[in-house]
Structure 1
Amino acid sequence: MNRRPALLAAATLTVAAALALSACGGGEGDSKGNDKIAGADSGDEAKESQAPSATAPSDSVDRPKIVVPKDVKLVFTPEAAGDEKTDAVLRDNAEYWRAIIDSIEKQDPKSEPVRFYSKGAGLLGTIEWSGNFIKSDMTLAGTVRFTDRKVTFSKDGSAGLTYCSDESKGYTKDRKTHKKNVTPASKDSYILYNDRLRKNADGVWQLTNSTSEMGSAQCQP
């Protein structure tokens, strides 16, 4: 199956649709296989080519280990905003994306890190997203930049996070042959994300919902 070369945009439309259906109370057909996924309720590169996430939060939370291949680079701007609460959201969002890369590399869409950093509709959509790559026997490489990250807090305790994704330097590759799928960047290499997160009892900001706009004019260079 041919897929877009961009690191994350390959399944954006599928995931956005799944999340939108879940958010509206629909999407029952999409979630039948995930009924028993922990946390989903509403409430071959060699090992030496991989390295643990170097920027994992250094707090008292017992976080799962995330391994990101050395040929994948995720850049987050800003990494911090100077406010403790905002910075916690930004850090956990970054770990969420690293968890996705880790799950695809391990061919485990329901991995512990994915379930740790997402919940409900966010978890179900993330599992489907990662699963699309795994079913196609594709893995990921290259650089993706997440920019203009802005956090707002709602009265209900949740957090909103908007940001742009520049996937022009990312690509997919065949897991068996390691052949890279690289094509010129286009407007669809730039995506606008609008996420909703909520802090759980352990103090982790989990993704609960997300929408995305591929080719967003707001994110074009």
Structure 2
Amino acid sequence: MVRLLEAGDAGLVVEYGDKVDPELHGRVLALYYRLAERALPGIRELVPTYRSLLVEYDPLVIGYQQLVETIEPLTAGPPRPCSGRLMEVPVCYGGERGPDLEEVAALCRLPVQEVIARHAAPTYLVYMLGFSPGFPYLGGLDPSLQVPRLARPRLQVPAGSVAIAGPQAGIYPQSTPGGWRIIGYTRLALFDPGSDAPFLLQAGDSVRFVPVKEGEHAHA
């Protein structure tokens, strides 16, 4: 059942469910693109998440009830297939830039090389960007690699850190505090504030991690 909920005095949330599910996310993306293509007056921004779409609007241009009446008929369409781009992300695992790899291996009762292989095997879905500009929340992590967040988050996680926590994988675009377990790093820039398209990844894209050695990484 789809729910339309107020989010402050200039926001509307369209909620498709209460779980992380690729089909629900496909419905979120379908609505996102329907609204984006219509370019309705008064809509300032559309923010897709795991299971909902936030619609930020100008209440001086379009009222809440009018927005609800406009959006509600558009929520019933079919899910959008995952047709985003496939991005290969070179990752150097372990070492100083992957300080939690060995602990993750111990928690999962797996050899380090098996952790790397299982992390690099899936094709991940970018469910949403959040936390910091360009940070991708990735679904598809092998269940055998699910580990809790750090009990005490780090004050600084370097940009490019490749990390996991619970059922999710992610990449830190900037140096920020963080509590996910860092197993490697990439030189790929995920966020460029000076670009017309500042985010390398978008919701609906797919990601494959490609293991590389330190010497190869500089040229990847």
TM over 0.5: no
Of structures 1 and 2, the one with the larger relative CO (CA 8 A, separation 6+) is 1
Structure number with greater Rg is: 2
Q: Under a length normalisation based on structure 1, what TM-score does the superposition of the two structures give?
A: 0.24
Q: Under a length normalisation based on structure 2, what TM-score does the superposition of the two structures give?
A: 0.24
